[in-house]
Amino acid sequence: MTTATGTEGRTAPTLELRSVAKSFGAVAALRSGTLEVAPGSIHALVGENGAGKSTLVKIVAGVHRRDSGVFRLLGEDVDFGSTADSKSAGVAVIYQEPTLFPDLSVAENIFMGRHPLGRGRRIDRTRMYDESNALFARLGVTIDPRRVANGLSIADQQLIEIAKAISLDAKLLVMDEPTAALSGNEVARLFAVARSLRDEGRALVFISHRFDEVFDLCDTVTVMRDGAYVSTHLVAETTEAEIVSRMVGREVAELFPKTPAAIGDVVLDIQGLGSTGEFHDISFQVRAGEIVGLAGLVGAGRSEIARAVFGVDGYDEGRVTLHGKAVPKKQPRAAIRAGMAFVPEDRRQQGLVIEGSVARNIASVIRGGLAKGGLLTAAAENKASAPWASRLQVKTSALDMRAATMSGGNQQKVVIAKWLATDPKLLIIDEPTRGIDVGTKAEVHRLLSDLAGQGLAILMISSELPEVLGMADRVLVVCEGRLTADIAREDATPENVMAAATRSAPTAPPTKEPVS
Amino acid sequence: MSTATATEARTYPAYSRNLAARLLLNREAAVIVGLVAVYLYAMGNVPFFDGPLTIFNLSKEYAPILLMALPMTLIIITGEIDLSVASTLGASAAITGVLVVEHDLSLPLAALVAILVGALLGALNGFFVAYVGLPSLAVTIGSLALYRGLAEGLIQDKRISGFPEGWQDWPTERIGTSQYPNILIPIAVLVVLFALLLHFTSFGRGVFEIGLSDEAAHFSGVNVARTKLVLFTLSGAVAAFAGVYVALKSNSVATDTGNGFELKVIAGVLLGGVSIFGGRGALHGVVAGVLLIAVLNSALQLDGQGSEVIQIIIGLLLVGSVIASNFLPRIRALIPRRAAASTTAPQTPATGDETRKVSQ
């Protein structure tokens, strides 16, 4: 590698991916990934959640093996079977939250597995510390190589990962949302380091949801959507609006048939809800018959808000009222009694007792009421759960089958059945169709629409923009723990929702005051 | 109520296997078969095993183990453990002894005080486990030493004996003309109560759910912390009741009363088919597990085996049963289930590979 700049002549790109595909079972996570990164450049990779960015990065990192397509590094075909392979070929991946050994020193973390050895094969600590200091000096930062990694800020941990990458002479650095957890100064320091690495002739891939950062730092930007390459632009020759329209480009399909329902009284009223470090000053209402979509990027704080409202987590300020009655905080039982139901994001860990039977899962919230004289029988649980399994068309051979043996879509139906059995007034549903097949997806959407038609208030969190736009009567957008927009169904477009979700200034005023 | 526009009602069988398979293909059935086999073999082949004293002595000896195994079953099903039960038993015996013999308190009153103190000691464990969030293994190793120290502080190096005549004999008197001691009456009552609590109440369903996934239980409105607090409190109270019994049975209390019982209790619970990882087990299996250890112990003793042989055999049985429980699911998988009623195209498989082993 002698070429320090990628501006003149055609040198072999550091990384070249063409039509790379990867499927997990029947799910195609990446259909056609294409990315070409020149040496001495910083290349942004952008796309919605689920666009396939992470899968692409994992293929480059050697975590996954591609099913098909071309994968070249420095002009040579490569095929990584492990992360060790990719490291030795000169690839370094820096994740949003680095995984250092917390109890080892900074220097030991940098030289893990390849400590400099002195006489008698003893670890030469002096040399290790000197080399660490030299690396940090090159990056222009000061971190004591002798201190333990535990307690370092995420920004410092990332720098240690970068130092490690340089000591391995990495030609390609991939940074997966490195700025998500950093403060303004830390971002500036990271960018200075990134620029100096670029000027040394290394290639960098920068994944971020913040467009101002992309436009500030990067030379080139590649847009992905639905597991496929969309376009590549020179940053100097494009605009934020163009990138957003490329990201959301698809038509909102007719898959999502929310039928208009009579909107009734306020069911859920949230005022000034805040939890330190998670979300701030959240106020909104959900009315009977209304589906309110909570949109935003992964990590914006949507799930945290839902969890606080339902009481599985606490909150620091604000209040939650349901049908005019205050709901006590941090008591799921009380929230259930008040009429709330919560289908959480993580079906396997939170939504279901995955090793439990269909019947016990469906009856798990209502079973207290099934007991006669305090005694609960399996027969009573079966009798109560069968009609719900039938109503949701759960496919299982018997009620005692473990939920773990069922498909994701059927598991989701069991979770929904369990909550509908409680006859709720408000249904909070987090990622209603994540990881379920298209047919079941449509069934779930039809069901939500029917339920709203019967007067149920629904708060739906979804990272799929078409789902939000198709289902929601009103879209609330959360960005970095704050509500940044409240958009009526007829005004909502992929562009204005995406713009509100990626607004990086945390103090930006909402486009419209929340109804109150 | 119905939202289904054009969906036909489905019906579901309650069980995917027939009754015989459900009754026989489980750990509990295996332990019960083992117990019956050992008992019948010993009756025919071990000298004096069929004598009138065998069952009597065996019941007397293993009553405290069986008692403590009842709440321990529930605790282990939630994925926790209580190692302090034998020390709680010792503390309770010491309290009873000091109050009755040295302070002339009536026995029922002293027993009540001992049981309340036991419940409090259990609640203390429960508080640290459930509300502070410490691992129960660490908490109860600590309280194992702490509560034993409490007993030692109360009675120092004395040996307390001389309980009032009437009470002293009650637990070991026979029920009518049978060969069973009186203590089996409260044991039978507690077995039934704990079986109902675990298998026939909403609370019991929560116990299983916590063991399978405490997060999912929390999200379904189960009060995980309170459930654990209740279980540890019950464990302390029952261990204290066992302590009163042990004091009366042997008419003596020393600092080492009940020493090492916790391991026998846990051995019985695990042999009875309760998973040490939580989430599965049944009370009838645990009763059979404790009885299997008791019968085996007694038969080997009468057969003239030394204690080292007995220890080795029971140890092997326990290790063997843990290994065997890994094979049971594979045997079960060979027995066909009801065919799935689904005719639709295959769906997205559930994520996670471990779930696919079970044949449809």
Question: What is the distance in angstroms between the Cα of B206 and the nearest Cα belonging to chain A?
Answer: 8
Q: Which two tokens stand for residue A241?
A: 């609006």
Residue A109: what pLDDT?
Answer: 92
A28 to chain B: nearest residue by CA? B348
Sign of the CA dihedral running B288, B291, B293, B297: negative
What are the chain A neighbours of B350 within 8 Å (beta carbons)?
348, 404-408, 411
Q: Which residue has the higher pLDDT, A388 or A463?
A: A388
Non-local CB neighbours of A401 within 8 Å, separated by 6+ positions:
A357, A358, B16
Residue B338: what pLDDT?
Answer: 59
Question: What is the distance in angstroms between the Cα of A509 and the nearest Cα belonging to chain B?
Answer: 34
Tell me what the mean pLDDT of segment A398-425 comes to.
92
Residue B8: what pLDDT?
Answer: 64
What are the chain B neighbours of A400 within 8 Å (beta carbons)?
14-16
Residue A217: what pLDDT?
Answer: 93
Residue A7: what pLDDT?
Answer: 43
User: What ipTM was predicted for this assembly?
Assistant: 0.85
Does residue A256 register a pLDDT over 70? no
How far apart are alpha carbons A339 and A335 in whole angstroms? 6
Question: What is the distance in angstroms between the Cα of A297 and the nearest Cα belonging to chain B?
Answer: 23
How far apart are alpha carbons A184 and A189 in whole angstroms? 9
What are the chain B neighbours of A391 within 8 Å (beta carbons)?
2-4, 7
How far apart are alpha carbons A337 and A326 in whole angstroms? 12
Residue B314: what pLDDT?
Answer: 87
Domains, chain B, ranges and CATH? 62-326 (1.10.3470)
Q: With an 8 Å Cβ cutoff, is B7 touching chain A?
A: yes
Q: Which residue has the higher pLDDT, A65 or B6?
A: A65
Question: Which one, of B281, B292, B295, lies nearest residue B71 by Cα?
Answer: B281
Question: What is the distance in angstroms between the Cα of B348 and the nearest Cα belonging to chain A?
Answer: 6
Residue A14: what pLDDT?
Answer: 92
Please, what's the b/e burial string for A118-138 (b: 16 or more CB within 10 A of its CB; e: otherwise)? eeeeeebbeebbebbeebbee
- Over the stretch A92-132, which tens digit does the pLDDT of each residue have? 998 877 788 989 999 999 998 888 888 888 888 899 999 99
Domains, chain A, ranges and CATH? 15-100+170-248 (3.40.50.300), 101-151 (no CATH), 266-339+424-501 (3.40.50.300)
- Over the stretch B54-96, which tens digit does the pLDDT of each residue have? 889 999 999 999 999 999 999 999 999 999 999 999 999 999 9
Do the beta carbons of residue A410 and residue A388 sit within 8 Å? no
* Confidence band, pLDDT 50/70/90 cuts, at residue A225: confident
Residue B205: what pLDDT?
Answer: 97
- Chain A and chain B share a number of CB contacts under 8 A equal to 161
Q: Where are the beta strands (DSSP E) in chain B?
A: 160-161, 252-253
How far apart are alpha carbons A155 and A161 in whole angstroms? 10
- Over the stretch A323-357, which tens digit does the pLDDT of each residue have? 999 999 999 999 999 999 999 988 888 999 999 99
Does residue A24 register a pLDDT over 50? yes
Does residue A65 register a pLDDT over 70? yes
Does residue A145 register a pLDDT over 70? yes
Instruction: Quote the percentage of chain B above a pLDDT of 90.
Output: 66
Does residue A180 register a pLDDT over 90? no
Q: Kindly list the distances between the CA atom of residue B285 and the CA atoms of B55, B73, B200, B288, in Å, as whole numbers in the listed order.
A: 20, 10, 16, 5
Residue A5: what pLDDT?
Answer: 43
Do the beta carbons of residue B219 and residue A429 sit within 8 Å? no
How far apart are alpha carbons B9 and A234 in whole angstroms? 58
Q: With an 8 Å Cβ cutoff, is B341 touching chain A?
A: yes
Residue B95: what pLDDT?
Answer: 96
Q: With an 8 Å Cβ cutoff, is B197 touching chain A?
A: no
Label the pairing between strands A266-275 and A317-322. Answer: antiparallel
Q: With an 8 Å Cβ cutoff, is A452 touching chain B?
A: no
How far apart are alpha carbons A154 and B11 in whole angstroms? 54
- Over the stretch A383-399, which tens digit does the pLDDT of each residue have? 999 999 999 989 888 99
How far apart are alpha carbons A497 and B261 in whole angstroms? 65
Residue of B220, B353, B355, B356 for testing the chain A interface, max A β-carbons within 10 Å:
B220
Does residue A474 register a pLDDT over 60? yes
What are the contacts of B343-349 at 24+ separation with CB within 8 A? B344/A395, B344/A439, B346/A26, B347/A395, B347/A407, B347/A408, B347/A409, B347/A410, B347/A437, B347/A439, B347/A440, B348/A25, B348/A26, B348/A27, B348/A407, B348/A408, B348/A409, B348/A435, B348/A436, B348/A437, B349/A25, B349/A26, B349/A407, B349/A408
* Confidence band, pLDDT 50/70/90 cuts, at residue A255: low
Label the pairing between strands A203-207 and A220-225. Answer: unpaired
* Confidence band, pLDDT 50/70/90 cuts, at residue A434: confident
